[in-house]
Structure 1
Amino acid sequence: MENVAVLIVGAGPAGLATAACLTHLSIPYVIVEREDCSASLWRNRAYDRLKLHLSKEFLDNILVMQAKFIFGDLSRHGITMPKMGPMILKSKTGRSVVIDVGTVGLIKKG
């Protein structure tokens, strides 16, 4: 597992708010949650019509961090990360980011 500065236990309202603040401050963190979704109390027990809407920037930061962790730095192979994250890119341009993991593996092998 990667080195992280903060471990957040629980993906409820407090855990998600903490994660958002840490993201804003560029502090690495990991969230652990025993349920199969975030904000499980809201989604599964308290309100039958509540939907949790996270900002696209929050979702983008998580996706970009995951992609960097999974694929590493591909710039030496001529593949650069876009300036915008995938959610913002989709909303502004209508284009979707697609990563073919098989192709990435072959590129890394040369």
Structure 2
Amino acid sequence: MENVAILIVGAGPAGLATAACLTHLSIPYVIVEREDCSASLWRNRAYDRLKLHLAKEFCAENSAENILVIPGLDSFPGEAFHSSRYKSGKSFSGKSVLVIGSGNSGMEIAYDLAIHGANTSIII
């Protein structure tokens, strides 16, 4: 094995993005992952239509720790949850649903809701 400068623990989205950045900078690395596939959280615990989209050059700072607090959400009478809990639009058929955000997850979820008969709106 060649000498490597970086050991990446975990082949999730952050680990894969880090690997992409290191590749772009020609810095050798090794990824270790306890699961039997990359991005196991996305592949095994996400909604049915989710596809893993990796940019060819991805070196943006990780902002996943930033949590958006929506004023008034605590008094919202409907159901509100993060995309990580979404599985399928089947149970939303005939219901009005608002998807907040138009990133890959938001657009995939909005499409899935629409094809399952939900009255789907997106806010950006």
| TM-score, scaled to structure 2 | 0.42
Q: Computing the radius of gyration over CA atoms, which structure comes out larger, 1 or 2?
A: 2
Higher fraction of strand: 2
| TM-score, scaled to structure 1 | 0.47
Higher fraction of helix: 1
